[in-house]
A and B are shown apart, each in its own frame.
Chain A
């Protein structure tokens, strides 16, 4: 992280500002991805006026980094109106989309409105695999066409490749596709439970042997070093906060629910009943999240794998205890250590 960004995040932390917010504008979607954690029915999305009011409140609260996501946000007929409104409020906007609805004119409008990055989900370079995951025939071709439109506008495009059993071996192909399109590439092996707690989709997580292959792939890890296991967390780090969720970041659902993070569905308040500032400053559940320090994590604070752990408190919460471990991250940490030993012998 740059020194300037460090400074901004430090100031946000000191002032207790929600500097980063993900705002899902809809859960409706035109794909039916097999691993998706959302319920795609519309249970009463915020109206255009309500979204604008939320954006006003977020700007006043100090939010700078804003991610618009979904669902597929371009299914909202007012998407460009909301995007323009957000930019008038001087948010830094990134959008996450499957890009199926983005045509040349849409790409030009996105560029014109000053969006900093467009993230597009691509699961495989092979149509039969990608379309098999999205359950929409022709979706890979349409997403690629949209990426070309976006790149032709000079926009920064990030291809996000979620790994699951169906596509575990395809990431080199997606990586090559990203390079060909002039897009950035990121890989994510995280499959999360559905927001209603259903864990059925977790069976799609890639097996540890496949994860080990990913973590030892030089084209992905480069020269990054992995720390060996060591004793419990250093005493001077015990008062650190485990994650920015609820501290400098939060999530807004299409229904106005505020959570600490998109992966941390702890109800803290609803914007149809309360002002954002009141929820952010006074919600009891948020206060509880903010009170947690590393020393309060009975398992993780003494775990020897903590140095490489990416423990997600939201996943831990979904497993039943926000102070507990997240088993998926425990598994990743152990695979990381196997990867370290393999990389050291090369």
Chain B
């Protein structure tokens, strides 16, 4: 079975505001607000952790859903975020973006 890996897109700005995450594309000023699921995916999208693992460790504990359904939903959602250049998807681990940790981010 091949794993799917997700990484944050390049040339994006982002800030977590409580459960939502605001994403802004530098190239065309496209502005997006990710809901709780999107925010969890964004936060975990390090390029090296398989999506299945993210679903098992991060998504399932937050939502009352079985792992198979959650993985199916998360895959579909990740693909739509890829279509908006917010996430990159690959069947192999990716080099993660060099992002600085943000202490005590707003609303957390």
Q: Please report A residues at the B interface, Cβ cutoff 8 Å.
A: 2, 4-5, 7-8, 11-12, 15, 17, 19, 56, 59-64, 85, 88-93, 114-116, 154, 156
From B21-29, B44-52, B60-68, B82-90, give the one contacting chain A: B21-29
Q: Are B106's CB and A15's CB within 8 A?
A: yes
B12 at the interface (CB under 8 A from A): yes
Given contacts A15-B17, A64-B13, contact A5 B31 (CB under 8 A): yes
The residue that B29 contacts in the complex, of A15, A90, A93, A116, with Cβ under 8 A, is: A116
Q: Measured between C-beta atoms, what is the minimum distance from A129 to chain B in Å?
A: 32
Q: Are B103's CB and A90's CB within 8 A?
A: no
Given contacts A90-B12, A92-B24, contact A4 B32 (CB under 8 A): yes
Q: Measured between C-beta atoms, what is the minimum distance from A89 to chain B in Å?
A: 5
The residue that B31 contacts in the complex, of A4, A11, A15, A90, with Cβ under 8 A, is: A4
Q: Are B12's CB and A114's CB within 8 A?
A: yes
List of B residues within 8 angstroms of A92 by Cβ: 13, 24, 26
Q: Are A2's CB and B31's CB within 8 A?
A: yes
Q: Are A89's CB and B106's CB within 8 A?
A: no
List of A residues within 8 angstroms of B22 by Cβ: 8, 64
Q: State which residues 1-58 of B face A: CB under 8 Å.
A: 10-15, 17-18, 20, 22, 24, 26-27, 29, 31-33
Q: Can you list 29 A-B contacts (CB < 8 A)? A: A4-B31, A7-B33, A8-B22, A11-B17, A11-B20, A17-B17, A17-B106, A56-B100, A59-B100, A60-B103, A60-B104, A60-B106, A61-B106, A62-B15, A62-B105, A62-B107, A64-B14, A64-B22, A64-B24, A88-B100, A89-B100, A90-B12, A90-B13, A92-B24, A114-B10, A114-B13, A116-B26, A116-B29, A156-B29
List of A residues within 8 angstroms of B31 by Cβ: 2, 4-5, 8
